[in-house]
């Protein structure tokens, strides 16, 4: 009788060098709004997220990465008088040109959009993620005339942007809606704070 046996070895080796995960960054912003009556009593308050539209992102990246002779104009913060359906393709023409800006207010005694003055950005920690934020000083809008219903806020900046109400000049950066529309009357003050955060 002849017996035959088979023997074998198998090995798999994997070598990975300079492994790095994808570096991603998300940018989000929030509008915080408080309304008080002429006596200073709080009528309503709400915070809601924004959509940074395509032309706003393009302006941000072209300015920061491509490089251009650019100085900050504004940014100017306006209020809306109709419900928005925020979309990436929106521009100042589709928003303000569509008659959606609320204008029954003054800022500092003048009938102009408020100027958003941002503080220097700050970062909170490096791991497990880096969160960098910048917040604008609150802007106070004094409601005039017949008052009216406010549906949300928008931010416009870039070359040509102006504080003039109903102007379509400049680049729409962001827009957002209240969960429910808010009613105002003459003498009310509406304080709006915009903050933006980049997380990686």
Looking from the CA of 158 toward its CB, the CA atoms found within 13 Å total 21
Please report the pLDDT score of residue 5 as a whole number.
45
Q: How far is CA 162 from the centre of its chain?
A: 18
In sequence order, the 6+-apart residues with CB closer than 8 A to the CB of 106 are 112, 141, 142, 144
Rg (C-alpha) for the chain, rounded Å, is 25
Please tell me the predicted confidence (pLDDT) of residue 72.
67
**Given this model, what pLDDT does residue 119 score?**
87
Interstrand relation of 114-115 and 105-106 (parallel, antiparallel or unpaired): unpaired
pLDDT in tens, the chain (200 residues): 454 444 444 444 444 444 444 556 677 889 999 999 999 999 999 999 998 899 988 888 887 777 666 666 789 999 999 998 889 999 999 999 999 999 999 999 999 999 999 988 888 766 666 788 889 999 999 999 999 999 999 999 988 999 999 999 999 999 999 999 999 999 999 999 999 888 87
Give me the pLDDT at residue 179, please: 94
User: Is the sign of the CA dihedral 110, 113, 116, 117 positive or negative?
Assistant: negative
The pLDDT score that the predictor gives to residue 58 is 86
């Amino acid at each position: 009788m002849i017996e035959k046996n088979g023997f074998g070895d198998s090995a798999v080796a994997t070598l990975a060098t300079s492994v790095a995960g994808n570096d991603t960054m998300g940018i989000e912003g929030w509008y915080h709004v408080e309304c008080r009556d002429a006596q200073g009593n709080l009528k309503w308050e709400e915070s809601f997220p924004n959509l940074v539209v395509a032309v706003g992102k393009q302006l941000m990246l072209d300015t920061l990465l491509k490089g251009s002779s650019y100085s900050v104009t504004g940014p100017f913060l306006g209020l809306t008088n109709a419900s928005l359906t925020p979309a990436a393709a929106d521009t100042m023409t589709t928003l303000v040109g569509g008659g959606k800006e609320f204008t029954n207010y003054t800022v500092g005694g003048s009938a102009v959009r408020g100027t958003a003055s941002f503080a220097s950005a700050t970062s909170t920690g490096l791991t497990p993620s880096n969160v960098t934020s910048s917040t604008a000083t609150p802007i106070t809008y004094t409601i005039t005339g017949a008052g009216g219903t406010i549906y949300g806020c928008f931010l416009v900046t870039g070359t040509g942007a102006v504080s003039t109400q109903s102007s379509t000049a400049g680049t729409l950066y962001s827009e957002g809606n209240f969960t429910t529309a808010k009613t105002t009357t003459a003498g009310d003050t509406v304080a709006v704070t915009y903050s933006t955060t980049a997380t990686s």
